[in-house]
Chain A
Amino acid sequence: MSATSARPSPAAQPSGSAFILKKALISALVALVLFSLMIGIRTEAGPQGGLIYWTRFGDLAALVGTVFGGSIIVELLRQWWGPVDKDSIVPKPVQSAISFAGRWLAPALLMFALLVPVIFYNQRYILDLSILVLTYVMLGWGLNVVVGLAGLLDLGYVAFYAVGAYSYALLATNFGLSFWVCLPLAGILAAFWGVLLGFPVLRLRGDYLAIVTLAFGEIIRLVIINWQSLTGGPNGVSGIPRPTMFGIPLTPGDDGLAARLGIEFSPTHRLVFLFYLILAMALLTNWVTIRLRRLPIGRAWEALREDEVACRALGINTTTTKLTAFATGAMFGGFAGAFFATRQGFISPESFTFQESALVLAIVVLGGMGSQLGVALAALAMIGGFELFRGFDQYRMLVFGIAMVLLMIWRPRGLIGHRAPTVFLERNQAISSDLVKEGHG
């Protein structure tokens, strides 16, 4: 095949059976050392309180054998379907079909999302799950501004989610403000905290930035836990008002929406309303991000991700660029938080642990940093997948770990690694950047 012979990699990489066997043997050896104590010997407290132990060499042998066989399969798969040469193996018609599907995927998904409450009107479980997925889509899109576009690794994104949620919860329960007044306030407060986080980390990048943002997320959570008089501490805030449809409550009472429309009340109405609310909020996030990407500020974010020194040489104010990225991402997190609070009716610090930050970050990275569609797909796969594998219970995390590792091996830039350019100068130039391999000249 001419396409593959043009590339040096298959010839340069060792691929013989001896190489595969050697690799598998090394993996098996590592597994043997690792598991010899973890699996091979089992210890337990005996009836007299002393330690008793017994060996499980059978299990150990099975496990090491599995690793040996598995690594042979993985190596074969990798050589047959390498990460870089993938496009040369996929035949042309399939490629064009994929690109056709790619063009229509986003509109099709949007149409489907709009129709979800119609199709699944009677399935409360699916509606609940869709609302959850959309919440994470929105969080993913929000974090995408900070991590995907501006390249600022933020491990404490959940802090802004928490700020938004508590802003709405406290304003609504203490001052009786309505959801529609609190929503922008929650966004503004979260953006304010975003700027506050932004200032000390202006000079930091990469690992250092990640550590500080991680700490920031924990600080917010600990403050919420310990500031009992304001936040209720670990008990959380309950009795958060449900949202109204612009003043019309979705309740069975006389002034409720159902009574006014003259239809029978159903609790599903509120669910459907919540669904469309979060869908609209998520789409707003998406729209604003897409618009911003085409403006100088959005381009500056992306340039900042690529090369900070070059940005300064071009006269970009890196301070305001970073702060606006933090503030914009935080604002969307705050909106999502306010929605979360009104949906749940009850919030507590337990909802805002580091695990949430990690989950949202995983969605952004798996989806392809900077890709809006990729993030939406990743949120659907992650949150939907979690539910799908609920039956497997303890193997769920294992399956997810393996899936993530495989995805990162085969698609290191995420599900949708392609980045759509935002500046078009000449329409007649059809050379897509996809068709050209990246050089390191």
Chain B
Amino acid sequence: MSAAAATTPLLAVRGVRAAYGKIEALKGVDIEINRGEIVALIGANGAGKSTLMMTIFGRPRARAGTIEFDGDDITGVPTHEIARLRIAQSPEGRRIFPRMSVAENLQMGADATECSEAEREAGLERVFALFPRLKERIAQRGGTLSGGEQQMLAIGRALMSRPRLLMLDEPSLGLAPLIARQIFDAIRTLNRQDGLTVLIVEQNANHALKLAHRGYVMVNGLITLAGTGAELLQRPEIRAAYLEGGRRG
């Protein structure tokens, strides 16, 4: 890695605007993710968190602004080629393939990026080490798994492409607190042991900010606050809006 590459962020989103028809969901968003970081993006329902994640992936396209990955402009790159740059996404609501087996689901993650047999094996080993439950369920259909197992499968599937940046959309959605903690622990392990860079979109602000190195708060398509996870957790407005005002903000 050159000296320049070490200083530029892995992902830089600058002034990005995106819209669904006439409804503008992102109104000029700037975020940066450095190598080896966990960055949390928190905000209420409809703030544009998921849209930002999908815009990074090229769907919907950014109407203005630039998205740079590892110094290269990827704003206009087609979605399937963005995945080939080894940006992986675990979409909201898990979206595993219900009639396909766990093994096939994992293989689907590896299919998008050309990888050797050895790399595939290593990827599988990593996923099974992280989520031993998936190994037990390997021949089962995805639809027969419990919600937590499906989330593990969705993350495992994303990991199979050996990502340089992993984007997770609401990994704790609809999970029991204990299972959610397991998922967050796995993300922390991936970051510490493999140095994986992670962008995590969450409504569960408490968990996400404790996990993340840095965080961004999004309101109505704009980033309103940024700081380290610990800083944000101390901010009174965050506490009021996302932590103490009920289950979710």
Report the stretch among A18-26, A100-108, A302-310, A342-350 that lies at the interface: A302-310
* Chain A positions 302 through 333: 1 when the CB is less than 8 Å from some CB of chain B, otherwise 0: 11011101101111111000000000000000
Residue B161 CB within 8 A of the other chain? yes
Closest beta carbon of chain B to A432's beta carbon, Å: 7
Contact B100 A300 (CB under 8 A): no
| Interface of chain A: mostly helix, strand, loop or mixed | loop
Selected from B80, B99, B143, the residue in CB contact (under 8 A) with A312 is B80
Residue B113 CB within 8 A of the other chain? yes
**Given A421-B139, A433-B140 in contact, is the A314-B101 Cβ separation under 8 Å?**
no
Residue B131 CB within 8 A of the other chain? no
Most chain B C-beta atoms within 10 Å of own C-beta, residue among A317, A425, A432: A425
Question: Interface residue count for B (Cβ, 8 Å)?
Answer: 44
Selected from A313, A318, A424, the residue in CB contact (under 8 A) with B89 is A313
- Please indicate the chain B residues that have their CB under 8 angstroms from the CB of A441 in the complex: 145-147, 150
Closest beta carbon of chain A to B154's beta carbon, Å: 8
Closest beta carbon of chain B to A319's beta carbon, Å: 9
* Chain B positions 99 through 138: 1 when the CB is less than 8 Å from some CB of chain A, otherwise 0: 1110110111101110000000000100000000001011
Contact B141 A315 (CB under 8 A): no
Residue B184 CB within 8 A of the other chain? no
Closest beta carbon of chain B to A318's beta carbon, Å: 8
- Please indicate the chain B residues that have their CB under 8 angstroms from the CB of A430 in the complex: 139
Contact B112 A314 (CB under 8 A): yes
- Please indicate the chain A residues that have their CB under 8 angstroms from the CB of B111 in the complex: 296, 299-300, 314, 316
Give the interface of A toward B (CB within 8 A).
296, 299-300, 302-303, 305-307, 309-310, 312-318, 419, 421-426, 429-433, 436-441
**15 A–B pairs (Cβ distance < 8 Å), ordered by A:** A303-B97, A306-B99, A314-B89, A314-B112, A316-B83, A316-B111, A317-B80, A419-B99, A421-B103, A426-B103, A426-B139, A431-B137, A431-B140, A433-B139, A440-B143
Give the interface of B toward A (CB within 8 A).
57, 59, 78-84, 89-91, 95-101, 103-104, 106-109, 111-113, 124, 135, 137-141, 143-147, 150, 157-158, 161
Interchain residue pairs A-B with the least CB separation, the first 5: A315-B83, A315-B112, A310-B95, A306-B97, A317-B80
Given A303-B108, A438-B144, A439-B146, output 18 extra A-B contacts at Cβ < 8 Å: A300-B111, A307-B95, A307-B96, A307-B98, A309-B95, A310-B91, A312-B57, A313-B89, A314-B89, A314-B109, A314-B158, A314-B161, A315-B81, A316-B83, A316-B111, A317-B78, A432-B139, A441-B150
